[in-house]
Structure formats: C-alpha cells, structure tokens
Amino acid sequence: MSLVVVPTWVASQSAFPSRCTDARIDLVFVLDASTSVTEPNFELMKDFVKDFLYEADIDSGNVRVGVIIYSTKDHVEFQMNTYNTKTDVYIAIDEIPYRYGSTNTADALKTMRTEMFTRRNGDRPGVENICIVVTDGVSNINARRTIPEAEQARAEGIHIYAIGIGLSDTRELDGIASKPVDENRFAVQEFSELRDLRHKVFSALCSTEAPIITTPAPVVSCADARIDLVFVLDASTSVTEPNFELMKDFVKDFLYEADIDSGNVRVGVIIYSTQDHIEFQMNTYNTKADVYNAIDEIPYRYGSTNTADALKTMRTEMFTRGNGDRPGVENICIVVTDGVSNINARRTIPEAEQARSIGIHIYAIGIGLSDTRELDGIASKPVDENRFAVQEFSELRDLRHKVFSSLCSTEAPVITTPAPLVSCADARIDLVFVLDASTSVTEPNFELMKDFVKDFLYEADIDSGNVRVGVIIYSTQDRIEFQMNTYKTKADVYNAIDEIPYRYGSTNTADALKTMRTEMFTRRNGDRPGVENICIVVTDGVSNINARRTIPEAEQARAEGIHIYAIGIGLSDTRELDGNGSKPVDENRFAVQEFSELRDLRHKVFSSLCSTEAPVITTPAPLVSCADAKIDLVFVLDASTSVTEPNS
C-alpha cells in the first residue's frame, strides 16, 4: 500500500471569488530581491506569486501579468505582453534569479509605471491596472522618492497593494499603498505567511465594485476621423534623455487608438534642440507597427531650445503635398516642450501664428514651466482648450486623454489643404512658371518656391494631357528648365522640378518674360491652339537689369493673349509687380512677406484662375473654311536700315 502525500498548499488554494471570474486585469508584481530578503525567502515570494495566479484567467487573455524585481537596481523580468499562457508565466517566474543588493523601491515603482504600464508593453485601454508590491524593508536608496513615486503611479490610475514582511515601521508601506490603507496594505511577520495572505489580497481586489480605469478608452467621435498629424518634440538638454523617452512613450500612447493602418491618420515627427530634425514624414510609414518602431529609434539630440525653427520646418516642410499632407483633411500639430525658447525666441510665437493662419491646429504641451506665456502664444485659440501644462514628464501619460478629448470635441475641424475647385477639374491649360532665382532669393527660399509650384500642380490634370507645364528660371540670365511638351506625367514634372538648381545672380525679369513669350508659348514647344495660356511669375525683387523693359515685355505677352499672375515676396514697392500682372491688378497680383506664405497663396491664385468665365485664347484655332484651300502666297519683307537686324 502506498501513501500519497498531498502538499498542503494545494488544499489551501481557494477558488477565485466569483465576481473576479471574468475580470479583465493588467497586473504587475514588484518584488523586493534585496540582500535582507535572502534567497530562500525570495523563492517563497515567487511561490506566492504563482499561488496568487492559480485561478487567474491568463490563457483567455482576461488577465495579463508582468514582473519586475529590484534591489540596488530594478530589472523587468517580463512584460504583460511577453507571455499569454499560465504555463509560460509559471516557467518564467521559476527562472527569475535572486539579485541581492540594497533596497531601491523608488526606481522600481517608477519603472513599473513608465515602462510596464504602457501600451507597447501590454497595457490595455479600459482595463483595470493593478500593482502588487512585496518588500521586507524600508528603502535605503532614494528613500525620499519612494512615496512620491507611488503617489504618481496611483495618480495615473494604478491601484497598488503593498505587502510588507517583518516590518516594525510600516509608514513607507502605508504611503505606497492605495487608500484606504487598511484595505490595501498587508503586513506579516514571516515570508512563510505570504501563502495565507493570498486570499486576503484577492478578496480586497475582487470586492472593488467600480474598478479604477487607467488607460482611457478612445473617444468614439474620433473613430473614423481623418487627420494629418505632426508631433514637434523638444529634445533640448534640459529635457534629459530619460524624460525624452517618456515623451516618446506619450506619443505612442496617444497613437494607440489612431487608425493608421487604414490610412485615416497619417503621422510625422520632428524633434528639435539647437537645430530641428525631421524623423519621418506623414507619408513615410503607413502602419502603426512601423510608426512605433520609428518612434522607438528616435535618438535624443541635446542642445538649446530653438522652437521657432522647428515650427517653421513643421509648416513649410511637413505639411506639404509632397510629404503626405492631404487636401480636405484636418491638420493637427502637437508641440511638447519643457522650456522657453533661448534661440530665435522672438520668432517663436510669430511662427506659430503663421502655422495657425494656414489652418494648422496646434496643441501645446508644457512640462514644468513657471511661465506659460510662450506656450500660450503657440497654442491655437481658445488657449484653455489647446494649451496643457504639467509639472512632471511622468504626467504626460495621463494628459493623453485630455488632449484627445479636446481634439475629438471639435465640431467643425479646420481644413488646411483646400480641395480643388470643381470648375477647374476638366480645364485645359498651357501653363508656364517664371521663377526668380536671383541672389536675394537665397537657396532655402528657392526650394520653398519649388514646393509652391509642386503644391500648385497637385490637382492639375497633367497625365490626361489637359494641363501642360513648363518652367523657366532667371537671375542675370534666364534658363528654360523644361518646355510644356517635355513631360507628360505629373511624376516626371515633379522630378524635374526637384532637380532644378538654384542659379544666383541679378534680377533680369525682362529677358525671362521675353523668353517665356517667344520660346515657350510656341507650337513646337507645346503651346496648343484653343487652349488658355497662363503664366505665373514669382519674384522677390524689382528688376536691376533691363528694368525699363520689364513692364513692356509683360504688356507684350499679355497682348499676345498670355494671362499673367504676378506673385511678389517681401516687396515694399509693388509697382513693377502691378505692371507685370494682368488686369485688374487686384485679381492677378499677389503679395506676401515671407516665402513660407507661398503655400497658402496657392488657393488664392487657383481661385482667381478658375473663376475666369471666358478664358483668353492665345493661339488661334485655324479657320475651317481654309482647311482645303489652295493658295499661292508671297511675303514682301522690309529689310531697310531702319528695321535693324534684331527686329528682322
């Protein structure tokens, strides 16, 4: 006869309380592995964890479990999304090594909050977050930070059960636990008593009628929203690398419910310190997984705080058609910073105003700021709905819900990239751009000019042949970059525009206008009979070569039926510009102060172009009655001295 010995711990396991049977819980254990614990007692601690999880519904996905241990340093053993079966969790717990050292509970609590209860590591929206801390001693490293770290975790909705073993002073343990203390703090004298404590902790956990929900569920009104979204992140020295990681976590947390994979939401990120750096554009990645990976790989770039340049780059280089900005889709920018600008400070608010003026809605988030005036100036209006301030980077996670609520409560979103005018949808146009590439323009601004041209052509029906495009640039001399019959697809036109070099020099607008008229609007170079001829001149200055000929050349072009739109940048004297444009001047001459404003001007020029009821036809269609005529024709040409050779 054999005797079967049944271990007493099996008999003691009470069934999971009925109200917890179907509970969905995200659960993290924080285990003290300091020297005072000793290795045998640490094994008892691990047994307690497995005993506690005996009835947990892990395999169905209702319960997710993570474990972090700590002594002098903390170590995440596994995240909540590392294992999805109880067997794997048990095996992982058995393999956790004992790591002796001092007692640094503060850092362990911080890591639990900032690195474990995160979306990428298994934290779920709408699911209760539970942390169980097991320790045998009072902190002897970062002791002053222990209770504040616990308070911060609780403030973010993490419910903490604190278990102490052999403590004569429970004040720190009381400060760690959620309130009321008598329901969330448990004390025993021996590690062997942990086994019996399991039932008490479980009873407390399952008696909660209304669990605290940490990760907010998405706002329903945003479920199908189409958004072009750019994050502008401060990576200056004052941020510090650990806090920059929290900033990146905030971005990923914010994007958890964003519908990226379907294409509804596009995301770009730019970071800045002394200089700005575009990490990726809105059309770089089209899956959430790729976006998350790209965010994880963003390096910390310390330096000064140059918010102005970052805002300018966001506006001029990210919210552009070529980089993923879509017509008719709301443009949102979220700026996250911990300080006031110390480079180009006077330009910061004007740059934000410029971005808002072209329809980019800005949410401004500040961390630890005693003076929020610059932050207020960056944010869209009203300030109280678009500016958010917290004291610690760790508070960013909780802020996600507030920003999302504000974003989703907008009844009438601001549309930035205008949809094309229907009246131009089937228009047939022969179009030439005359671009000033003189020294005063500068190379960066010339690139903005090229962006304007591409942006203008975004809706142009080039591939079908309705619209033909040519480009000429000029400084001291003019140069035809391509004729209207050189390229037949928008892709080829875009590539050709990108390759146009900057050619500095003086401003010889007259010769450029003449070349446009005599060498571009010609049959052999793509000009078509019966099709409207349009010229768009973009310049930043008054002619300083052949200045007296500029307006007469424009008049000659207009006399031949070429409709001219004249765009000037930063001009204090617009008389020459007025003379270049077709009449009436107020419908055909456009003036802005900065090259960055060209993008917004596209809509105005397009509106003017498309509102023309009776287009001016330049190249006359042949008379049908002459189609089969037989004619003997002689030209008699005056070649006398008064004609001169150029006029011949």
pTM of the model: 0.39
User: What pLDDT is attached to residue 648?
Assistant: 64
Two structure tokens written together for 219: 């706002």
Does 481 have pLDDT greater than 80?
yes
Q: Once rounded to an integer, what is the mean pLDDT over residues 241-247?
A: 91
How far apart (Å, rounded) are the C-alpha atoms in residues 371 and 389? 10
User: What pLDDT is attached to residue 201?
Assistant: 80
**Sequence ranges of the domains in the chain:** 18-206, 220-408, 422-610
Two structure tokens written together for 302: 């310390």
Residues 6+ apart with CB under 8 A from 144: none
User: What pLDDT is attached to residue 419?
Assistant: 37
Region of poorest pLDDT, from 14-28, 362-376, 551-565, 632-646: 14-28
How far apart (Å, rounded) are the C-alpha atoms in residues 235 and 247? 9
E-only strand ranges, 23-82 = 25-32, 63-70, 74-78
pLDDT-derived band of residue 163, with 50, 70 and 90 as boundaries? very high
Q: Which helix (DSSP H) or strand (DSSP E) does residue 336 occupy?
A: strand 330-337
Q: Once rounded to an integer, what is the mean pLDDT over residues 197-218?
A: 57
Rounded to the nearest angstrom, the gap between the alpha carbon of residue 475 and the centroid of all alpha carbons in its chain is 37
SS3 295: helix
Share of the chain above pLDDT 90, in %: 55
Structure-token match 């390096």, residue found: 299
Residues 6+ apart with CB under 8 A from 74: 68, 104, 107, 108, 111
pLDDT tens for 54-112 read: 888 899 999 999 999 999 999 999 999 999 999 999 999 999 999 899 999 999 999 99
Q: Which helix (DSSP H) or strand (DSSP E) does residue 386 occupy?
A: helix 383-386
Neighbours of 627 (CB within 10 A): 7
Total residues belonging to the chain: 648
The amino acid present at 37, given as its one-letter code, is V
Q: Which helix (DSSP H) or strand (DSSP E) does residue 345 occupy?
A: helix 345-357
User: What pLDDT is attached to residue 478?
Assistant: 96
How far apart (Å, rounded) are the C-alpha atoms in residues 601 and 607? 10
User: What pLDDT is attached to residue 636?
Assistant: 78
pLDDT tens for 544-564 read: 999 999 999 999 999 999 999
Q: Once rounded to an integer, what is the mean pLDDT over residues 627-645?
A: 71
In CATH, which of 2.60.40.10, 3.40.50.410, 3.30.70.260, 3.40.228.10 is domain 220-408?
3.40.50.410
Q: Read out DSSP for 146-182?
A: HHHHHHHHHHTTEEEEEEEES-S--HHHHHHSPSSHH
pLDDT-derived band of residue 610, with 50, 70 and 90 as boundaries? low
Does 486 have pLDDT greater than 80?
yes
pLDDT tens for 515-545 read: 999 999 999 999 999 899 999 999 998 999 9
Same-fold call for 18-206 versus 220-408 = yes
User: What pLDDT is attached to residue 220?
Assistant: 34
Q: Once rounded to an integer, what is the mean pLDDT over residues 608-636?
A: 55
Q: Once rounded to an integer, what is the mean pLDDT over residues 437-457?
A: 90
Two structure tokens written together for 612: 């023309």
Taking only Cα atoms into account, the Rg of the chain, rounded to an integer number of angstroms, comes to 35
Which has the higher per-residue pLDDT, 376 or 412? 376
How far apart (Å, rounded) are the C-alpha atoms in residues 585 and 434? 18
How far apart (Å, rounded) are the C-alpha atoms in residues 151 and 338? 22
Please say whether the dihedral angle defined by the alpha carbons of residues 389, 392, 397 and 398, taken in this order, is positive or negative: negative
pLDDT-derived band of residue 226, with 50, 70 and 90 as boundaries? confident
Inter-axis angle of helices 288-296 and 241-254, to 10 degrees?
A: 170
How far apart (Å, rounded) are the C-alpha atoms in residues 234 and 307? 8
Order of all β-strands in the sheet with 532-539? 478-482, 467-474, 429-436, 532-539, 562-569, 589-592
How far apart (Å, rounded) are the C-alpha atoms in residues 442 and 503? 9
E-only strand ranges, 475-584 = 478-482, 532-539, 562-569
CATH of domain 18-206: 3.40.50.410
β partners of residue 43: none
How far apart (Å, rounded) are the C-alpha atoms in residues 177 and 161? 5
pLDDT tens for 299-314 read: 998 999 999 999 999 9
Does 205 have pLDDT greater than 50?
yes
Contact 186, 200 (CB under 8 A): yes
pLDDT tens for 386-432 read: 999 888 888 887 777 678 767 765 543 444 443 333 346 567 899 99
Contact 129, 157 (CB under 8 A): yes
User: What pLDDT is attached to residue 408?
Assistant: 67
Phi, psi (degrees; rounded to nearest 5) at 643: -70, -40
How far apart (Å, rounded) are the C-alpha atoms in residues 126 and 154? 16
User: What pLDDT is attached to residue 412?
Assistant: 38
User: What pLDDT is attached to residue 12?
Assistant: 36
Alpha helices in 499-565 (DSSP H): 509-515, 547-559
Beta-sheet pairing, 25-32 with 63-70: parallel
Nearest to 446 by CA among 474, 482, 417, 470: 474
Region of poorest pLDDT, from 92-96, 130-134, 261-265: 261-265
Angle at 540 between CA 538 and CA 545, to 5 degrees: 95
pLDDT-derived band of residue 200, with 50, 70 and 90 as boundaries? confident
Phi, psi (degrees; rounded to nearest 5) at 409: -85, -5
Fold of 422-610: Rossmann fold (3.40.50)
User: What pLDDT is attached to residue 359?
Assistant: 87
User: What pLDDT is attached to residue 394?
Assistant: 84
How far apart (Å, rounded) are the C-alpha atoms in residues 630 and 505? 52
Q: Once rounded to an integer, what is the mean pLDDT over residues 332-356?
A: 92
β partners of residue 537: 434, 566
User: What pLDDT is attached to residue 209?
Assistant: 46
Two structure tokens written together for 385: 């709905």
pLDDT-derived band of residue 213, with 50, 70 and 90 as boundaries? very low
Long-range Cβ pairs for the range 147-150 (8 Å, 24+): 147/172, 147/175, 147/176, 148/106, 149/105, 149/106, 149/107, 149/109, 149/110, 149/113, 150/109, 150/175, 150/176, 150/177
